Amino acid sequence: MQISERKVASFHYTLTNDAGDVLDSSEGREPLAYLHGAGNIVPGLESEMTGRSAGDKFKVDVTPENGYGTYIEELVQVVPRESFQGVDELAVGMQFQAQTAQGAIAVVVTAIEGDQVTVDGNHPLAGETLHFDVEIAEVRDASEEETQHGHVHGVGGHQH
């Protein structure tokens, strides 16, 4: 069975950056399952999945534009500490939901200087070229419910 629209594919992967550092890997875990054509994985990887079948091994280089996006300076903002009411101990690395004109985005605190808190709304991998080493584990038909929800249920997917 080949990967196409409305198929669920599960795959093992190792993700490295340009320097060869391993950023993420499924090694020692269940393979990652996704619904093809639903935007569950980055576009540059999803497009290379089309037509593959179980046992296929391949490498994909994904540009930032087809990965987690380019790094956008405007998503880095300095806000007053009082914006974080209810947070006892604000620290670098904390994540928050920020309301913007484009909707809610996840931001991470990258610096604190006195009353000034710097937050970054870029994805941690924004601006990175992604190098995936992939092995397809299984391809199956998506259920009616999975197609409606736009994601995979069960092992490697949503547990609801």
If one asks whether residue 81 binds Zn ion (CB under 5 A), the answer comes out as no
Interface segment toward Zn ion; rule CB under 5 A; list 18-26, 33-41, 105-113, 150-158? 150-158
If one asks whether residue 149 binds Zn ion (CB under 5 A), the answer comes out as yes
Q: Smallest distance from the beta carbon of 86 to Zn ion, in angstroms?
A: 31
Sign of the dihedral through C-alpha 86, 88, 90, 96: negative
Interface segment toward Zn ion; rule CB under 5 A; list 33-41, 84-92, 115-123, 141-149? 141-149
Residue closest to Zn ion when measured from CB atoms: 149
If one asks whether residue 6 binds Zn ion (CB under 5 A), the answer comes out as no
If one asks whether residue 12 binds Zn ion (CB under 5 A), the answer comes out as no
Q: Please, what's the b/e burial string for 42-62 (b: 16 or more CB within 10 A of its CB; e: otherwise)?
A: bebbbebbeebebebeeebeb
If one asks whether residue 143 binds Zn ion (CB under 5 A), the answer comes out as no
Judged by CB under 5 A, the number of residues near Zn ion is: 2
Instruction: Give the nearer residue to Zn ion in terms of CB position, either 140 or 158.
Output: 158
Q: Which of 41, 21, 19 is nearest to 31 (CA)?
A: 41
If one asks whether residue 131 binds Zn ion (CB under 5 A), the answer comes out as no
Q: Catalog residues that contact Zn ion under the rule CB under 5 A.
A: 149, 158
